[in-house]
């Protein structure tokens, strides 16, 4: 049975890092919407190429496009063991479509992890976030390195990361994802992880809650089948 996880959480909560770690440890496909779009564009996928043309004109990628690309990716054989999705669904329309894709896959429950961090802590983290001046990679927020681990470039503070900009980004995130969180919140497979801890503690809590949610999801499906 597949281990299917979606990661929710504001910028600065560390969800991308945790998503990557969890996928690596469990041999799952990690899918972030940016990566999946780039991959589809490389494969000359028509829908993705149209989306890229739109993005080049400054447009956002619409729900239908995102759903088509994610569906195509999740139904491939290398996603059979499960996946960790980062950055999708962003809207309730996408969340409903994901439920349909999950039925089509028929391979384990959908586990929803919300990584929560208090706003003051997010502002503090984002305002001190450093990126590589050469390749743009994010520096380890807990590390003391002065050069990029990937290319050796100099690490600099992100220029858009002053508190006002950070607060505005957090507001935009909350407005956009609040309905999606409400869409999932009452499910037995929804779990909240405290992201305001050291990364290894977040990892431990997240792993425990995912196991717990997976068991709840299996029980839910079994009881639904009995009542049919």
Q: Which is nearer to Zn ion, 123 or 132 (CB)?
A: 132
Q: Are 83 and 29 a contacting pair, CB within 8 Å?
A: yes
Binding status of residue 148 toward Zn ion by CB under 5 A = yes
Choose one: 28-36, 62-70, 128-136, 162-170; the region binding Zn ion (CB under 5 A).
128-136
Among 1, 151, 176, 219, binds Zn ion (CB under 5 A): 151
Binding status of residue 222 toward Zn ion by CB under 5 A = no
Q: Are 43 and 157 a contacting pair, CB within 8 Å?
A: no
Q: Are 27 and 134 a contacting pair, CB within 8 Å?
A: no
Query: Is 158 annotated as catalytic?
Result: yes
Choose one: 20-28, 144-152, 158-166, 198-206; the region binding Zn ion (CB under 5 A).
144-152
- The 3-state DSSP class for residue 102 equals helix
- The 3-state DSSP class for residue 109 equals coil
Q: Which is nearer to Zn ion, 95 or 148 (CB)?
A: 148
Q: Are 177 and 204 a contacting pair, CB within 8 Å?
A: no
What is d(CA 21, CA 8) in angstroms, rounded to the nearest whole number?
A: 15
**131 phi and psi, to 5 degrees?**
-125, 165
CA dihedral (143, 147, 148, 154) in degrees, to 10, reads 130
Query: Is 169 annotated as catalytic?
Result: yes
What is d(CA 28, CA 84) in angstroms, rounded to the nearest whole number?
A: 7
Least Å from the CB of residue 9 to Zn ion: 24
Choose one: 78-86, 94-102, 116-124, 125-133; the region binding Zn ion (CB under 5 A).
125-133
Among 24, 38, 150, 178, binds Zn ion (CB under 5 A): 150
Query: Is 129 annotated as catalytic?
Result: yes
Q: Which is nearer to Zn ion, 50 or 151 (CB)?
A: 151
Residue partners of 130: CB distance under 8 A and separation at least 6? 138, 139, 141, 155, 156, 157, 158
Least Å from the CB of residue 224 to Zn ion: 49
Report the 10 Å Cβ neighbour count for 108: 18
Q: Which is nearer to Zn ion, 52 or 134 (CB)?
A: 134
Among 20, 141, 153, 199, binds Zn ion (CB under 5 A): 153
Binding status of residue 52 toward Zn ion by CB under 5 A = no
Residues making contact with Zn ion (CB under 5 A): 132, 134-135, 137, 148, 150-151, 153
Which sequence positions are flagged as catalytic? 15, 90, 129, 158, 169
């Amino acid at each position: 049975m597949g281990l299917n996880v979606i990661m929710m959480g504001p910028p600065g909560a560390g969800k991308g890092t945790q998503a990557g770690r969890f996928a690596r440890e469990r041999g799952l496909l990690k899918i972030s919407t940016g990566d999946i779009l780039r991959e589809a564009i490389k494969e000359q996928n028509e829908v993705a190429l149209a989306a890229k043309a739109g993005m080049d004109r400054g447009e956002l990628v619409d729900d239908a496009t995102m759903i088509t690309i994610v569906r195509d990716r999740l139904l491939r054989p290398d996603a059979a063991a499960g996946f960790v999705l980062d950055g999708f669904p962003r809207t309730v329309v996408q969340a409903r479509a994901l439920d349909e894709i999950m039925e089509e896959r028929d391979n384990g429950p959908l586990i929803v992890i919300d990584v929560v961090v208090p706003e003051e802590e997010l502002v503090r983290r984002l305002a001190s976030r450093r990126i590589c001046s050469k390749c743009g990679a994010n520096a380890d927020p807990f590390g003391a390195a002065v050069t990029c681990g990937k290319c050796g470039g100099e690490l600099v503070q992100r220029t858009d990361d002053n508190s006002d900009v950070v607060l505005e980004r957090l507001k935009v995130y909350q407005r956009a994802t609040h309905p999606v969180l409400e869409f999932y919140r009452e499910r037995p497979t929804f779990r909240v992880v405290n992201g305001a801890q050291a990364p290894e503690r977040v990892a431990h809590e997240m792993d425990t809650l995912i196991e717990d949610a997976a068991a709840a999801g299996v029980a839910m499906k079994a009881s639904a089948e009995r009542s049919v």
